[in-house]
Structure 1
Amino acid sequence: MIVHELSVAMNMIEMAESACVEQGYSRVEAVSIRVGRASGIMRDALVFAFDCAKAGTLAADARLDIEDVPVGGACNDCHAEFSVEEAFVFNCPACGGKSFQITSGQELHIVELEVDS
């Protein structure tokens, strides 16, 4: 749903602008983020929303750099640690067990801002 991604994009831009102003910079050139595949964020929708939301802001010409984070988990049955590219995990890829903990892939973090004075 694009409304969710638009809200996320607007919050990212607001945070980037706030950091820019606090540090005395005049423009955001890039926002780098880490997005987990199981975060519920649709990458294409987020890029579109970011491009729409940045107009008229200090990030008007900024690019959005996205690092995809695969889903990682730890099996409670065989104790294997695993990483998968799919957004949804239904069983341990090593033993087929259905008891596991998700350890990564649900995050959404701003990791870096590129700014210009």
Structure 2
Amino acid sequence: MHELSVAMSLIDVITEEMIRNHAAGALSVTVEIGALSGVVPEALQTAFTIATRGTELADTTLRIDVVKVAVRCNACQAVREAVSQSDIRCAVCGTASTDVVRGRELDVVAMEIDDGTPNPPGPDTHSEG
């Protein structure tokens, strides 16, 4: 299960960002995982939960966005989503000569950190009178 090593790398990235921003914690992290990256989203979610259990990141939410495969056709130059993960022919002209331009990602794209300041109270709904 290489997702555990991916989860540990995510924890390193989150921790570095927390240190850089003098943050008290991380509320959420969003990653993009390409359909061809070899990472199983459900396994990564489980590995992240296990790896953060009992740590300052235990309550951090991991959001995973799966990026579909897109190819550039070497014949007609069209860039389109692949027919399927196992069939990366050009969706326009059908040629098999394509280059994958999207779908191999494994990127942290967003992180919400806790700066340690309490949230301001909501509007005062108490009225005197």
Give the TM-score of the pair, scaled to structure 2: 0.82
Count matched residues: 115
Report if aligned partners of 2:78, 2:92 keep a CA contact under 8 Å in 1.
yes
* Matching of residues 73-112 of structure 1 within 5 Å: 73-84=71-82, 86-112=84-110
**Higher normalized helix content (fraction of residues):** 1
- Which residue is 2:61 aligned to? 63
**Higher normalized strand content (fraction of residues):** 1
Which of 49, 52, 57 is matched with 2:50 structurally? Answer: 52
User: What CA deviation, in whole Å up to 9, does each residue of 1:47-80 have, x standing for no partner?
Assistant: 1101111123331101111111111111112222
Q: List runs of 5+ in structure 1 lacking aligned partners.
A: none
- Alignment-mate amino acid for residue 77 of structure 2: H
User: What CA deviation, in whole Å up to 9, does each residue of 1:18-74 have, x standing for no partner?
Assistant: 210221111111011111111111011011101111123331101111111111111
Cα distance, 1:84 vs. partner? 3.3
Give the TM-score of the pair, scaled to structure 1: 0.89
User: What CA deviation, in whole Å up to 9, does each residue of 1:67-101 have, x standing for no partner?
Assistant: 11111111112222111373333422222211111
Q: Which range is displaced more, 83-92 or 38-47?
A: 83-92
Q: List runs of 5+ in structure 2 lacking aligned partners.
A: 117-129
